[in-house]
């Protein structure tokens, strides 16, 4: 199954992608995680992407399409994948079509704007493996320590309140049009993000027709 997760920043795409990945045994492909890794390692790609990421803007289609194309060509993606944070523009969605990638389902996680900011202020990510947490809704077992790999969890620089608003504006302008793009294909499903992660996961599995 090739899946796309759509939704505003902070809607819970990463968390739900992890749950689907564990359930179906297909990789979560997060362009945001790949870009953060490149920035952390100071690679040429990271240097190119850093400024846009810090300001809450999008990295250029050309760069992101390039890394996505390489990633889905890796062997673990052969039997399916979950795209988390890609596509983020109509041009990126068209690039998937051009690459001949068949998408089975597009799942939108919808969270009203007024709840997004609160969700983002409590969000934490593992600085080593990129796993997602939330201090209230999905806390780590030991404070600030990743359950999966034991590294430190941190707040993302772009989750600062001043950047969150510009990221939401970018989402509305550039990414929300993808709902219409995929709505026309009949592949778009929508679930509403719930307070409890497990409740959203249940709705997600139901929408995808996967047994809980
Ligand atoms: P995310 O972790 O998905 O919220 O992504 C973090 C940041 O990485 C975004 O705010 C963008 O600057 C950049 N980014 C991630 N995915 C994409 C994409 N598909 N297109 C452009 N920029 C992206």
Given the residues 115, 156, 187, 202, the one annotated as active site = 156
pLDDT given for residue 89 in this prediction: 98
Question: pLDDT over 70 for what percent of the chain?
Answer: 100
DSSP-derived letter for residue 185 is T
Task: Match 């049009």 to its residue by tokens.
Answer: 177
Question: Quick one: pLDDT band at residue 162, thresholds 50, 70, 90?
Answer: confident
Q: Is 11 in the pocket of ligand 1 (CB under 6 A)?
A: no
pLDDT given for residue 104 in this prediction: 97
> How many residues belong to the chain?
212
Active-site annotation holds for 156: yes
Nearest atom in ligand 1 to the alpha carbon of residue 167 is: 10
Active-site annotation holds for 50: no
User: How many angstroms is it from 179 CA to the middle of ligand 1?
Assistant: 17
- What are the tokens at 12? 């819970």
Q: Is 32 in the pocket of ligand 1 (CB under 6 A)?
A: yes
pLDDT given for residue 157 in this prediction: 87
- For 48-69, what is each residue's pLDDT tens digit? 999 999 999 999 999 999 999 9
- For 65-108, what is each residue's pLDDT tens digit? 999 999 999 999 999 999 999 999 999 999 999 999 999 999 99
Mean confidence (pLDDT) of the chain: 95
Q: Is 111 in the pocket of ligand 1 (CB under 6 A)?
A: no
pLDDT given for residue 81 in this prediction: 98
pLDDT given for residue 86 in this prediction: 98
- For 23-48, what is each residue's pLDDT tens digit? 999 999 999 999 999 999 999 999 99
DSSP-derived letter for residue 175 is I
Q: In 51-84, which positions are buried (b, 16+ CB within 10 angstroms) versus exposed (e)?
A: eebeebbbbebebbbebbeebbeeeebeeebbbb
Question: Quick one: pLDDT band at residue 118, thresholds 50, 70, 90?
Answer: confident
Question: Quick one: pLDDT band at residue 212, thresholds 50, 70, 90?
Answer: low
Q: How far apart are CA 184 and CA 143, in angstroms?
A: 44
- For 164-180, what is each residue's pLDDT tens digit? 889 999 999 999 999 99
């Amino acid at each position: 199954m090739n899946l796309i997760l759509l939704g505003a920043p902070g809607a819970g795409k990463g968390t739900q992608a992890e749950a689907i990945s564990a359930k179906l045994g297909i990789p979560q492909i997060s362009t945001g995680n790949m870009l953060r890794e490149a920035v952390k390692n100071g690679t040429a790609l990271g240097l190119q992407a850093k400024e846009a990421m810090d300001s809450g803007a999008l990295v250029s289609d050309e760069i992101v399409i390039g890394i996505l194309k390489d990633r889905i060509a890796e062997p673990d993606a052969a039997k399916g994948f979950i795209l988390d944070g890609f596509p983020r523009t109509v041009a990126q969605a068209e690039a998937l079509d051009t690459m001949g990638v068949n998408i089975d389902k597009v799942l939108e996680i919808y969270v009203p704007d007024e709840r997004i900011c609160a969700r983002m202020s409590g969000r934490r990510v593992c600085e080593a493996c990129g796993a997602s947490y939330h201090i209230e809704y999905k806390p780590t077992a030991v404070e600030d320590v990743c359950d999966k790999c034991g590294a430190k969890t941190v707040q993302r620089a772009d989750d600062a309140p001043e950047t969150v608003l510009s990221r939401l504006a970018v989402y509305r302008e550039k990414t929300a049009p993808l709902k219409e793009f995929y709505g026309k294909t009949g592949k778009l499903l929508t679930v509403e993000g719930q307070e409890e992660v497990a409740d959203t996961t249940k709705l997600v599995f139901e929408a995808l027709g996967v047994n809980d």
